[in-house]
Amino acid sequence: MALYFFDIQSGREFFADEEGRDLPEQRFAEIEAMEMLVGMLKNSTFANDRPDMAIEVRSGAERLFCASLIYRKNGTKH
């Protein structure tokens, strides 16, 4: 088991994970990050303004990966 920390960025707000979660391997942390993003989207109270959301996962001080949800309006090229 390893301790993974899930820091949340939503719009201009940042929330550092101080506790972390014990998970068997990084693949479980990847799944957890994606499920957290989906939960954040479902519980979002943003009516018209949909900020980008990201979860940066680290193990101690080492950054491992970032899972993000980027909102783009119709007409964007990407």
The 10s digit of each residue's pLDDT in 7-52 is 999 878 899 999 999 999 999 999 999 999 988 877 765 555 667 8
Instruction: Please determine, for residue 72, whether its predicted confidence score (pLDDT) is greater than 60.
Output: yes
DSSP strand pairing (53-59 vs 62-69): antiparallel
Cα–Cα distances in angstroms (integers) from residue 66 to residues 17, 74, 75, 76, 77, in the given order: 14, 25, 26, 23, 23
Instruction: Please determine, for residue 67, whether its predicted confidence score (pLDDT) is greater than 80.
Output: yes
The 10s digit of each residue's pLDDT in 51-65 is 788 999 999 879 999
